[in-house]
Structures are given as structure tokens and as C-alpha cells.
Structure 1
Amino acid sequence: MSKRLLVLVLLLFSFCIASINAQSERDEPLTTILEELQERFGVQFNYVSKLVDDITLFAPETTLSLQETLDYLKSQTNLSFVFVSDNIISLKEERILLCGNLIDMDTGEVLPYVAIQNSSTGTFANEQGYFELNGVKRSDIIQIRHMGYKPVSLNVADLETSRCNTILLTPYHEKLAEITVYDFLVRGLDKLDNGSYQLDFDRFRTLPGLVEDDVLLSLQALPGIQSIDETVSNINIRGGSHDQNLITWDGIKMYQSGHFFGLISMYNPQITQKVELRKNGSSVSETDGVSGTIAMKTDQFLNSELKGSIGVNLIDANGFIDAPIGKKASFQIASRKSLSNLVETPTYDKYFERISQDTELENNSASVTNTDIAFDFYDTSFRLLFNPSERDQLRINFIHTANEVTFDEVAEVSGTQVFRQSNLDQTSLAEGLYYYRDWTEKLTTQIEIYNTDYKLKSINSNIAADQRFLQKNEVSETGIKVKVLKSSSDYLNWTGGYHFVETKVTNLDDVDDPVFIRLEGEVLRTHALFTEMGLSSKNAATQLNLGLRFNHLDEFDKQLWEPRMSFNQRLGQYFSLEFLGEFKHQSTSQVINFQNDFLGIEKRRWQLSNNQSIPVIESKQASLGLSFNKKGWLLNAVSFYKNVNGVTTQSQGFQDRYEFVKTSGSYESNGLDLLLRKQFRNNSIWLSYSYLNSDYVFDELTERRFPNNFDITHAVNLATNYAIDQLLLAVGLNWRTGKPLTLPESDNQVLDDQINYGQTNGNRLDDYFRVDISGKYEFNLSHGNSLEVGVAVWNVLNRENTINTFYRPTLFGDAQKFDQSSLGVTPNASLRLIFN
């Protein structure tokens, strides 16, 4: 690492420490302040230690009198200071008035006559769901219970005391995962007792480098989640390729994940409320995703008032609206559109430069020039929410996304200038229907039906060869899932159901001269039955989910049994133990036939398993984790093992001696994910480290075992998130070892007009290093509206990171090296008006 980089790293560390010091200079433990006051005024404070242990505040001015000092402390701590004698002061907890409004999380309707109580008193909400509880202490725990809803326990210290709280109650339809660690990294990113991570955009704060919320980029802040090329279309979970991730939007399986061909998520965070990530221990109701599951969910309750937002940044303009239709229905619409057809910003230029590297957009033949290059993307999401009765819910979802690149190839042919247009289109169109029926307090049913269509199409007009090459890759999938949920008691529940999936994949290659047409279409139907039991101890210290899924693949007459498990055990007050395990399979994968397919921009095409040359992919995973969480300190350690069998060389992105080899094998991964986080009120600083050891095993290759293409051995993330009133700041450092690399033999680089490669993946690219910053400020306007301004810089040091290197033989008998670089320094800014 150069001296300049070393200095900048030290500066980042200094900023993180300064964040802590700034907090400590501003906030001191109350115990320290009381000790200073005892010496200054010659008094003695009597108190119970647990009353003041977790209280920090800005020390009072030394110019204040004793009484003025006590009045200040009372206003800041809700503690009362009573003189027992002239020099002995007793600390007691101030009694306060707590008020709130209770609302059904699913319907948004008020909940009347709900019982609310603490250890000494209680009350009932009125017919409007409003309640007041007097004589409450900040150390109290409030219990809220209502027939048909999950009981809620709330710490008064976490509630607003200056105004009324809105409290959402969840219907007791099924055993929902409980949050075990709030604000795992930052506010709104939580850890659940089933081993998954949940990102709640209603509470989410900014991450380094993000000017606006990004569904898939945000998940990459978690340990064990990498992107080999820093995109959302190549997310690697513990050595897996991106196609091994199951991505769903409101239960609809999606085959596309990004705009700008992977640089930003195509899922609008304004309508996507929550994202759940599972690396392991999946529910038996889910199939596919042998590496992980990314499940996006939208709001489930009806909104009684009009709300929305309008925003713009240096890439796109976007809007969202949520409007009620009477008392039983509402609709939501969200849309984004790139600004490239109006203005090309510095951010757009950086993004376009990144996606066009080593493609026909950048490198055409010497006699051909590219002109009138245009890029566009948009997405639209629509939802209709309808509750016919108190027991029924109907949800209709729709999403349409598109990316498009067009350019003219210009060349002089026989003295005449000839123009031909080449283009690339990537689109997704999906619809889903969800129906929920609450038969009794303990018996419910769910029906999910969806259809998703994905299409990748390119036309490559080759003027020099007077040839037009048309390519298409299409996926059409229909899924039906029926679930029955039965709660035997507060501590035991059962889920069972049936799942049917029909997937059709079509690939077309069409050349006009010489005429060549290859059209391949395959269909696979899968039937599945699943059952799962959830158990919880009376004190909720033990959570266990055990399930089994049976799959039947029609075309192959193949049966697969898949057991799955998640177990979480609290050990005392501060420790928890977690064990996750699963068997999984998937029958679709992305392959690369040639690196210049689809103009070289999006080379991967989806393909169905044929159970022979392309096997059904099967995985086995297990992980063991231990957490310690006390007074803002969180230490989380997870060790894991994963075996995935049935991967093909075509799906792994080889660009060395195995680039055109077609065979199947497996990979094994083991490693460790570590996280250390400290919270200071609403601010946090964290350090994460991931270790991965992942190897391929291909029995038919000359080298049977060698490192995985996605083996990032070491990865470190250091970041801080700091809030000052309405201002949010975030700074982050990302460092990781380079990806594996195969080099040509130094003394004989080319043999028989082919690259003479050395040991496969025997070397590595240079280490990857990036520093990001971001900031947001929210202006409160009238009538509850607000204006949000954001600024972010990605790779603020402009570090040139090589994310891929490959070699091609030249006419002179040597190997030409090609390097592909990551994004350089990339600024962005946003402006958003939020109205309620």
C-alpha cells in the first residue's frame, strides 16, 4: 500500500475515532458528572446503580449553581433530585405520562379496547385506539395484549415521552420471526431469530457511498456478502455465483436484478418496504437459491391518507404515491426513469464508461466507428390492496423494468458511408396475486400466484462482414403456492402446503449471412410438498424451526428431499447461540457461451437443467454462530460450511483455458464472518471481517481441484454512521483481497496460437480498496412534509481497482493483457420532497 493510501487510511480511522471522541466530548456518563458535582458542591448523591448506568449527557456548565445544575439534569434525564438533608440528595425516577395510538399493522385500522399495563398500573385504549398511562417510569416495560394479535413488550426508554406514539400490532396469523438484534449495523438493519437479516426502509439510515436507498447495494454492507465486480447483478454469497441467489419481489421470482446492467438496483425502495436476506436456514416454502435468498416485501396494510414522494438525482427521476380508495382498498404506484435522454451528468458518464469496458460499445473494428450511443432505463411498480372483510386480504402486484442501449455503426463501404444500428434490450415483466384468509384465530390460509417474464435481446449489425446477428434469451415462469398455517398454542405452530413451478427457457441465435438459426426451448415443471414446525419456549429464549420439503421434477422423474432447520438459543442476558442448516436445489443457471454475446455487455443467458450436461444444482449448508450484545456493543461470529454440486464451467465465468470447456462439478466453501459494532445512542461504528476458503472440484478437468473464481479470501469493512440532529453522515472503508487469476507461462506465453496458461487461479489480482462518503439533511416543512437533500461520493480516493484481467493471443505470438477497472471517483446528489 503506498504512503498516500496509508495516510488516507489513517485519516479514515481518525474520523471514526473522532466520531467516538466527539460523542464522548459531548456526552458523558451521568455517574462521572455526579462524582464531579459531589466534589464541587460538597454533597452526596444516593442512588441505585441501575438507575443511572446507561445514561449519558452533555455535562452542565460549571457556572451554574447547585439548584440550576439539578434542574438541568432533571430536564435531561427524567430523574428527580430530592434533598434528604442539607448535603444528601436522593435520585428517584421521575413519573411520566405515556400516550399512544394502536393500529393494525396489516390493515392500518385503529384497534379499540386493547389492554395496556406495566408492573404497577394498567388501562384500556378507547374506541379510537388511543390510550394514556400515567405514573410510568423510564425503566418500566409496557405490556400490550389483544385477542388475535401478538403480545408486545416495549421499553418506555425507547418510546417518545414528549408526544404520543404510534404502535403497530401484528395479527397472530403465524409465528413471525422475532428481532434478536436491533440495528445490526445501522438503524433499520436487524437480525432475526431465524438467522436472516431484515432491512426496514421505514427506519433505515444512510450507508457510505449511497445518496439514496438501494435495495441490493445496501445488503453488501453485511459480512459474507461480496460482489466480485461491485455490481448488484453479481452478488456472491460465500463463494456462490449470482444466479445461485433466489431474488423475489412480493413472492414473485425475478430473473433480473439491476439497472445500468448491474450498477444500481432495479427495485424502487420507495415501494419496497423491507428486504430479508438469508444465507442459510431457508423456510421450506421456498425453492431455488442454493447460495442465498433475497426476499423483498412491500407494505401490507392499507393507508388511510394520501402520501408519497418526488425525487431526482444525477442518474434518474422518480416518484411514489400511496392513495386510499375508500376504507377497504388502496393503491400504490412507483416509477423511475433515467435522465440520460435529457442530460448526461458526471455520474452517468462514469457509469456508462464502467459498463462499456471491453465491449462493442468501446472497441469496434478499426474500420467501424460507433456514433449516437444512447442508454435508457426505467421501472414501474403498481400494487392494489383490497380487504373485502376483516378476515380477507387481496393483493395484486405488478412490476415492469427495462434497460436499453442503442448505437449506430458507421463505416465507409465502396466509397459510401453506411449506417447500421445495433441495440440491446433487457426487460422484466411480472404480475402476482396474493390472497389471505383468516378462518379462525389459529387457522389461516395463503394463496400466491405469479407469472414472470424476462427477455434479453440484442441485434449486432456487423458492417464489415455485411451481417446481422440476432440473439434472444427468454424466461417465462408461472408459480402457484398454497400454504396452511395452524397455531396450536403460543409456543407451537405448523405450516404446510403445496408449491408448483413451471419454467420455460428459450434461446435463439439467428445469423442472416450465412443463414444460421438455432432455436432451443425447454420446459421444466416441479411439484413440491412442504411441512414445517415452529417451537418456542415460554420465555422466548429458545426458537426452533424444523421443516422438510419434497420435490418432484416431472421431466426427469427426479425426487429430492430437502430438510431445513433454524435454531436460536439465548444464553443468559447477553449471549445467543444460532445453528442453521439446509438442503436446497435449483434447476436454472446462467451460462456464458461467448464473451462477446449480447454485445459483450450482458453475456450471461439463463438455461434450464437437462439433468445430464447441465445437472440440477444441489447444495448442503450448515453454520454455527455466537453473539454477544450489551450496552451498545455487539460481537457476532459465524462459521459455515457449504457444498454445492452440479455447477458447470460455463456458469462460472472462466476466461482462461476453461473458457470453452463444458463440464460439471462442485465447489466447497468454508469460512468465518465476524462483526464488531458499537452504538452511541443513534450513532454507530462497525468493523466486519470475512474469511472464505472456496475450491472447485471438476473431476473431468486436468486440474481436478483449484480455487473458486469467487474466492475472496479476506474482506474488511470499517464504517461509521453519525447523526447530528437532522444531518446524517457516513464514511466507510472497503478492503479485500483480489479475485483469483490465471497467468500465462512467463517463458512461453503462446503455444499453437493459444495462450499457454500456468496454474489455474494460481495468482490473484491486486487488493481492492475503496473509501466512500455520504450525507443527508432533512428539512421539516409545514403540514408534516419534508425535503431531503443528499450527497455521496463513491471511491472518493479515485483508487484504480482492477476487477478482472484476461489475456488474448496476438499475431506476434505473445499474450495481450486486458484489464477491466471498477468505478473511479463517482459523485452523486439527490433531492426528494416527501409529503404526507
Structure 2
Amino acid sequence: MERKFKKTITFFTFLLFVIFSNNAQNDKKKESLTYVFNAIEVQYRVQFNYAEDTVKAIFLIPPDESLSLNESLTYLETQTGLSFSIMSDGIVLVKPKESLVLCGYLKDKDNSQPLASATIQTSNNFTTTNENGFFQIKVTNITQPITIRFLGYKTAIKWFYQFSKSDCEDVFLLPNFQSLSEVVVSNFITSGISKLNNGSFEINFSEFDMLPGLIDNDVLQSVQAFPGIQSINETVSNINIRGGTHDQNLILWDDIKMYQSGHFFGLISMYNPQITQTVTLRKNGSDVSYTDGVSGTIAMQTNQSVNNNFNATLGINLTDTNAFVDIPINQSSSVQVAARKSISDFFETPTYNAFFDRISQNTEVSNNANTITNTDKTFDFYDTSLRWIYKINDKDELRINFINVYNELQFNENALINEKEESRESNLTQYSIAGALHYNRIWNNNFQTTFEAYETDYKLKAVNVDILDSHRFLQENIVSETSLKLKTNYSFNEALQLISGYHFVETKVTNLDDVDTPLFRLLVSEVVRTHGVFSQLGYRSANGFSNFNFGVRYNFIEKFSKSIWEPRLSFSQRFLDFFTIEVLGEFKHQNTSQVINFQNDFLGIEKRRWQLSNNNDIPVITSKQLSLGLNYSHRGWLFNIEGYIKHIEGITAQSQGFQNQFEFSKTKGDNRVSGVDVLFRKHLNKFNTWISYAYMDNTYRFKDLQPNYFPSNYNIKHAATLGMTYSLANLKLSAGLNWNSGKPTTLPISGNEIVNGQINYEVVNNSNLEDYLRLDISALYNFELTDKTKVNVGASILNVLNKENQINRFYKVNNDELNAINQHSLGITPNAVLRVHF
């Protein structure tokens, strides 16, 4: 993987070099105005006197060296609109002219048709274009941008010096290619959450209000606010969308598939909330350009526009310190960088201790033989994210993304051996590194292409020592994936759109088990390559009431010579003004899954390892899903109900996490889920209240197990949430109550628990743990420190009632005695945040 990573870094470095070289070549004749001033000062022995803000944004071709000083200043005045006055002491005074007027004709870039009623705006004035596209506007400060907006076209930001000062020249806008998706319901749960007409949900964190228990915009915690989505063990590394396992979720960060989800091995999302702008959630009806994710898709996006103003944030909470900067490189390029680092190196907070105790419950970190003590337990994590956008010209745009995430757990095993104190270190590391390139080209008003390429690498490594037997067990799980995608978008008209493309994915999974005493080494490495061709037709009526998307994706898996056809459907129809009916359907497949070979693998902390399908005992997983929904939204009231059926084939017993009589079973089967998701919400002035409920019937079928049919390990029959937010100008308060019926469990038969040294279980998953109940609260206060500096101060408490919720129970036999082992949720867990925005 390291060799592949080096190749990836080399490729991106070369690419950046080429891009910047080409950019330099294209702009080599234009120089900054300060550069021109310096050259004229040397040539004519004068000195320019000016305010830095007046000239910093101006670039132009320098005047010819053969011109006299007065001719050079006249040229500069014509090009910049500034006033140049030569003083008696050889000083040239530079200042804006008191009154400047710009004019032009706004037109379509491709057909040169005039654009009427477009908005032209400066910081002080605005105007609109007439039927010929003509505009005229007064400019009071040449350093301020001129913004040009027109519906259906990309917003243009221009500067005074870019306009002709003698003629009313043509100004061109490019059409803004967007999908036909529109908002059906805004503020679906709270502010910033919308339901779209293609069946998906979108969270816009720039408009996001607050959710109970959260003071940071934790992406994977936020999606659990939707009915039908929860984590069976409170972690973001085990999110269950309509009863599916976590490995059945397609998680994308700027279109890069990620194989790791969280810090603290699942208690915190690993995606930095400061750089993540939007999140799209799809339970069903996926776009044909997506592959994998038979249960659902969580797609995160950074800001997709070039920023022309520097901004930054610094923050600290009770788990980490973080920073974010958005830096404009020039008018057509900007870069965003975000980073987080745990604070446990400096001090341990109550939040850190609660998280550490939670992840280490009933693992080798907390439990060991009586003669062994574990000491020096430490946990560390960090992440870095980068997004660079370069608008090469009006038609071409390039975006590069990079993300690096790391988790490490260490502890020492200590024992007295031959009357001598000995100590050896065990550790667990989990990290991901990925990079992507996106190139977008608008060919004309109707046609656009996008090319995407990414490399994503994941590695889980554990060194587990047995100090008494001088034994070392090394385990590794490595995933390396390369993806290439070409996507075209053709608009026949405003109502009809065709998306087509080709997608290639190569996935390599390596698993290593290495024991030093007795010597044993097993290394298995497999590769699967998949080719996908897709096409989807989208229709939207003129009034926006009818929306229809239908497409087909064809997949060919090289290794198995296997063809898979996947139709996708989304349809919505608005009627009686306030009602919308929705039909969604999809077929999907995936080649990867997570399995558990032994419960103590990887120290028992992150015991799941990724594996590839072999089309035999580990089949390709396929799914079929259909849903029907109804929305009502009027005067702050919202009612949403959606019923669904889902059938997943090709799951394995090892991927389901059994800890009963089927713990070591290796067989394949299928999963059938049906259910209903319901949401009521009322928005009244500053209050927002919602109640959600999800009913689910989730069953397995394994023909080689007895019984063949039984409840799924993820069969949470009933789940409900009551939430409330209250927002003032600077203060936000939120509280929420989460309840669900207990997780299925298998009990030993009472009075006959052990037979021949083995646990004698009842019918599998015939019982349930106790109901789960948790109350969370949070508060956030915003204020201005200066005109350009804002501060956020917040606090939250998870599990305010400190309820000891059981999230798992299993049994072990020790000296012919049955021991019940319970795992519990987080207890009362406080957190606080301080964030400064510059």
C-alpha cells in the first residue's frame, strides 16, 4: 500500500506542477499593479504613493517600456480607472476616481443571446439589464467586486479593471448545470435539512440549526436524526440504515469511497465538520452513477465554489482541538485546509475518559488474566483534509481533494515472570488516506462532462502480545481502491435531462495473520475489477409538481465474468398544493463486506475486517428495494410517512456479528426487511418540535442453519425520537429523547444452561435486551468579538439521566460456570466547545 500511496502522491504532485506551469504560461503577460509600479519607479526614478487595498486586486499587462512617464500613467489610468497625479517631489499619488461608471451588454456565452432582467451589483449599487442585455452601474470603489447574477446561469464575479473603460463591451455568462432535483420540504427536521424531489435528504451545515446532544456538526451523528436510521451500539462505525449492516452503506467524501468512519473507533465522526458543507442521504432510489451501498448512501461534499475572501476558524472541545482555513489564491482559485488533533496528549477530560471506557469495555484493553496488569493506556487521533478548486476558465474547472485520518491505541501488559517484572506493548492503529481529482467541462448550453478519479487506502493493524507465553500476534486488514468515472450530462431542454457514463473500480483487499510462537503466517490478497455503464433520464414539469428519474446501470465483474443489471427509479408528484406522493426503487450490488472471524481479533476493539467476494461461499451482495411515501407540509406543520420493503441476498453469517450458537458459522443467506418511517414536525416562531417513529420487521434466512428463519441481529422493532430546538438571535437550545425496543439476544435455556461444556442456547434471537432510553441536551451561544471576529461557545450532555442502557449481552463458560457479559452505552457524558471565526 505504501508503494501505491507514493505513486499516488507522485501523480498528484506532477499534476499540480503541470497545472501551475500552464497557469503561469497563460498569465505570464499580466502582472500585479504593484509589480508595474516597481518597474516604473526604477525606470523613471519616481515613487508611487497609494493605499494597499486600492491596488491589491488589479492585474494588467505592463505598459511598453518605450512610453514616456506621462504616457505610461495615461495607459494605467485607462486600464485601471485610477487617478495618477505627479507631485513636485517626484511622488506619484494614486487614488480612486470619485465617480466611475461601467456599462456593458450581458449575453449567453454560447449563442450570444441577450440576457434580460439579470442583476448587476456592487457593494453600494445595483441595477438590472434591459431587453437587450444592456446595463450601466456606478462604481464607487474599484477594489470591490461586481457580481452578475441570472437565473439558470453561473454567477460571475468581476473586477473593475477587467472591463473596457472606453466601450460598453459584451459580458458573457455560462449556463449553470444542475440536476433537476429541487426541495420538496425545507426544514425537514430542523433548519438546514431539506427533502428533495428525488427522494434524498440534504443537510446544509451553513444553514444548520442544532440537534440534541451535538455542539459540533458531526456528520454521521447528524444523519441518525432521520427515522429508520440509527446505530445499534451508539457508534458512527455501526450505522444501520433500515436494518442493514454498516458495511452495506456507501460513504463518500467528495465522491471518494471511504472504508473508515470514525475516531475513537466509532464514537466521533472522522470527517471534519468545518470543511464539510453538505451531506446527502439516500435510503432508496439512488442515482445510477453510484455503485455499492446496498442499504443506503451518505455522500458528503465540501464547498464547491471559489472563495475570494480569507476566513478561518480555531476551536477546542473536550476531545480535540481543530482548525480550518479557506484561502483565496487568486480570483479563480482557492484552497481549504482543515485539521483536528486529540488533546489527550496534554490532559484527559471527563469526555475522553467516558469515550475510552466505552470502547474498551470487555476487551483485552480492560480485561486480562489475573496475573497480568494493563498500564499506560493511551489513545490518540488526528485528521487532515484539503480541497483545492481552480476555475481554469469560464468552461473548465478542476478540483483536488485529500484526506488523511489516523487512530492509535496503546497499552502495556505487565507481569511478574521468574520473579522479574516484565512489560510488553500491545497497540492498534487504524488509518485512511485518499486523494481525488475532479475535472468538469461545460461544452455548451446543453452538454457537460465530468471526469473523476480517486485512490483510497485503508489499513487496520494490531499487535497483541501475550506476556506470559512470550507470544505475539500480528493482524492486518488493508483495502486499496482505485476508481475512474466519466459522466456526461445532456439537457434537451429545461424539463428533460440525460445522464450517462462509464465507471471503473479496482478493489484490492489484503488480510494478514502472523504468529511468532508457534510460527504461523497467513497472507491472503485478492483483487476484483468492475466495469459499469449507466444512463438515466430525468424529467421535471414546468410547474415543478411532477418529477421523474429512471435509469439503468450495467455492471460487469471481470473476475467472475458476472453481469448485473440495476434499474433505479425515483418519482414524486405534488397535488392539492400541500401533498406530495413519492415512489422510489432500486437494484444495487457490492463486492466488499466486513466479517468477524473471532471476537478477540484486533484486540476486540475493531474486530471487523474487510473482505472481497469470491462468488462462492462469499457471494456478491445484491439488493432490491421499493418504497412509497406521502408528505404534507403547510403553515409550519409537516407530516411524512414512508413504507418500504427491502431484500438483500448474499450476506454471510460472519458479517452479522453473531455471539451465540452461530458465532463460528460460515454460511450464506439473505435478509428481508419491511417497515414504516414516520415524522411529525411543527415549526412555530422560535420553537421547532418533532416526533419520529420507525417500525421494522427484519428477518434472516440461512438455509444451512436451524432454524432457517429468525429475527435479524439488527431487528429494532420500534424506535422513536422526541426533539425540540429553541433559537434566538445569538442563542440556540436543543433537547431530545431517544427510545427504542431492545436489541435481539439469545439466552441460554433456563435450568439447563451448559451441556457437555457448551452453552445450551434457546431459539436464536428469541429474546430482547431491555428498552433503550437516552435524554440529550445542548446549547450554543454566538457573539461578535470584533467586526471581523465571531465566537461560538457551547455545551452538551449526552445521557443526562445517566441511564445504564444495555447494548449487547453474550455468554462465556469459565470452569463449568456460565458468565453473562453485558456491554453498556455511554453514561452521562459532557462536552463543551469554544470556536473563534476570523
- C-alpha separation between the residues in 2 aligned to 1:170 and 1:468? 63
Shift of 1:145: 7.9
Confirm or deny: 8 A CA contact 2:722 2:736 kept in the other structure: yes
- C-alpha separation between the residues in 2 aligned to 1:215 and 1:131? 38
Per the alignment, residue 229 of structure 2 pairs with: 225
1:501 to 499, 505, 508: 505
Amino acid at match of 1:275: V
Confirm or deny: 8 A CA contact 1:114 1:129 kept in the other structure: no
Moved more, 351-360 or 203-212: 203-212
Amino acid at match of 1:204: F
Shift of 1:383: 1.5
Per the alignment, residue 340 of structure 1 pairs with: 344
Give the 5 Å matches for 1:103-142.
Answer: 115-116=116-117, 124-126=119-121, 131=126
* CA deviation profile, 1:245-270 (whole Å, cap 9, x unmatched): 00000000000000000001000010
* 1:130 to 1:804, Cα distance in 2 relative to 1, 3 A: farther
Per the alignment, residue 31 of structure 1 pairs with: none
* CA deviation profile, 1:733-757 (whole Å, cap 9, x unmatched): 0000011000001021011111110
| 1:316 matched to 2:307 | no
Q: TM-score, normalised by structure 1?
A: 0.81
- C-alpha separation between the residues in 2 aligned to 1:669 and 1:371? 45
Amino acid at match of 1:820: Q
Amino acid at match of 1:725: A
- C-alpha separation between the residues in 2 aligned to 1:636 and 1:584? 25
Shift of 1:129: 11
| 1:475 matched to 2:479 | yes
Confirm or deny: 8 A CA contact 2:121 2:127 kept in the other structure: no
- C-alpha separation between the residues in 2 aligned to 1:129 and 1:787? 28
* CA deviation profile, 1:752-800 (whole Å, cap 9, x unmatched): 1111100100000000000000000001232232100000000000000
Amino acid at match of 1:479: S
- C-alpha separation between the residues in 1 aligned to 2:758 and 2:321? 48
Confirm or deny: 8 A CA contact 1:787 1:832 kept in the other structure: yes
Per the alignment, residue 826 of structure 1 pairs with: 829
- C-alpha separation between the residues in 1 aligned to 2:596 and 2:276? 31
- C-alpha separation between the residues in 1 aligned to 2:174 and 2:635? 28
| 1:770 matched to 2:765 | no
| 1:545 matched to 2:540 | no
- C-alpha separation between the residues in 2 aligned to 1:458 and 1:150? 50
Confirm or deny: 8 A CA contact 2:180 2:540 kept in the other structure: no
- C-alpha separation between the residues in 1 aligned to 2:685 and 2:498? 39
Shift of 1:364: 1.1
- C-alpha separation between the residues in 2 aligned to 1:681 and 1:234? 36
Per the alignment, residue 75 of structure 1 pairs with: none
- C-alpha separation between the residues in 2 aligned to 1:176 and 1:411? 66
Shift of 1:176: 4.0
2:426 to 394, 399, 422: 422
| 1:602 matched to 2:599 | no
Per the alignment, residue 463 of structure 1 pairs with: 467
Per the alignment, residue 582 of structure 2 pairs with: 578
Shift of 1:226: 1.1
Amino acid at match of 2:260: Q
- C-alpha separation between the residues in 1 aligned to 2:821 and 2:764? 17
Confirm or deny: 8 A CA contact 1:336 1:378 kept in the other structure: yes
Confirm or deny: 8 A CA contact 2:360 2:605 kept in the other structure: yes
Confirm or deny: 8 A CA contact 1:115 1:145 kept in the other structure: no
Give the 5 Å matches for 1:364-443.
Answer: 364-443=368-447
Per the alignment, residue 182 of structure 1 pairs with: 186
Q: TM-score, normalised by structure 2?
A: 0.81
Match of 1:389, SS? Answer: coil
* CA deviation profile, 1:81-116 (whole Å, cap 9, x unmatched): xxxxxxxxxxxxxxxxxxxxxxxxxxxxxxxx9755
**Percent identity of the aligned residues?**
53
Confirm or deny: 8 A CA contact 1:174 1:493 kept in the other structure: no
Per the alignment, residue 794 of structure 1 pairs with: 798
Match of 1:218, SS? Answer: helix
Match of 1:262, SS? Answer: coil
| 1:620 matched to 2:624 | yes
Per the alignment, residue 659 of structure 2 pairs with: 655
Confirm or deny: 8 A CA contact 1:115 1:125 kept in the other structure: no
* 1:371 to 1:324, Cα distance in 2 relative to 1, 3 A: same
Confirm or deny: 8 A CA contact 2:461 2:477 kept in the other structure: yes
Shift of 1:656: 0.2
Amino acid at match of 2:497: N
Shift of 1:497: 0.3
Give the 5 Å matches for 1:427-826.
Answer: 427-811=431-815, 813-826=816-829
Shift of 1:235: 0.3
Confirm or deny: 8 A CA contact 2:120 2:149 kept in the other structure: no
Amino acid at match of 1:203: E
- C-alpha separation between the residues in 1 aligned to 2:567 and 2:773? 40
- C-alpha separation between the residues in 2 aligned to 1:279 and 1:319? 32
Amino acid at match of 1:292: G
- C-alpha separation between the residues in 1 aligned to 2:178 and 2:382? 37
Confirm or deny: 8 A CA contact 1:114 1:145 kept in the other structure: no
Match of 1:781, SS? Answer: strand
Shift of 1:547: 0.4
TM-align CA RMSD: 1.8
Amino acid at match of 2:471: Q
Match of 2:444, SS? Answer: coil
* 1:211 to 1:127, Cα distance in 2 relative to 1, 3 A: closer
Per the alignment, residue 250 of structure 1 pairs with: 254
- C-alpha separation between the residues in 1 aligned to 2:492 and 2:234? 46
Per the alignment, residue 6 of structure 2 pairs with: none
| 1:277 matched to 2:281 | yes
Give the 5 Å matches for 1:25-174.
Answer: 115-116=116-117, 124-126=119-121, 131=126, 146=150, 148-149=152-153, 171-174=175-178
Shift of 1:681: 3.0
| 1:327 matched to 2:331 | yes
Amino acid at match of 1:184: F
Aligned residues: 691
* 1:560 to 1:390, Cα distance in 2 relative to 1, 3 A: same
- C-alpha separation between the residues in 2 aligned to 1:621 and 1:784? 50
Runs of 5+ unmatched residues, structure 1: 1-112, 117-122, 134-143, 152-168
Amino acid at match of 2:585: G
Per the alignment, residue 210 of structure 1 pairs with: 214
Amino acid at match of 1:429: I
Moved more, 383-392 or 250-259: 383-392
Per the alignment, residue 18 of structure 1 pairs with: none
Shift of 1:542: 0.3
- C-alpha separation between the residues in 1 aligned to 2:320 and 2:431? 18
- C-alpha separation between the residues in 1 aligned to 2:491 and 2:587? 26
- C-alpha separation between the residues in 2 aligned to 1:193 and 1:129? 38
* CA deviation profile, 1:360-410 (whole Å, cap 9, x unmatched): 110011111111111000000011111110111100100000100011111
Match of 1:688, SS? Answer: strand
Match of 2:392, SS? Answer: strand
Confirm or deny: 8 A CA contact 2:686 2:728 kept in the other structure: no
Match of 1:284, SS? Answer: coil
* CA deviation profile, 1:468-487 (whole Å, cap 9, x unmatched): 10000000000000001000
* 1:607 to 1:503, Cα distance in 2 relative to 1, 3 A: same
Match of 1:489, SS? Answer: coil
Shift of 1:206: 1.3
Match of 1:220, SS? Answer: helix
Shift of 1:514: 0.3
Amino acid at match of 1:251: D
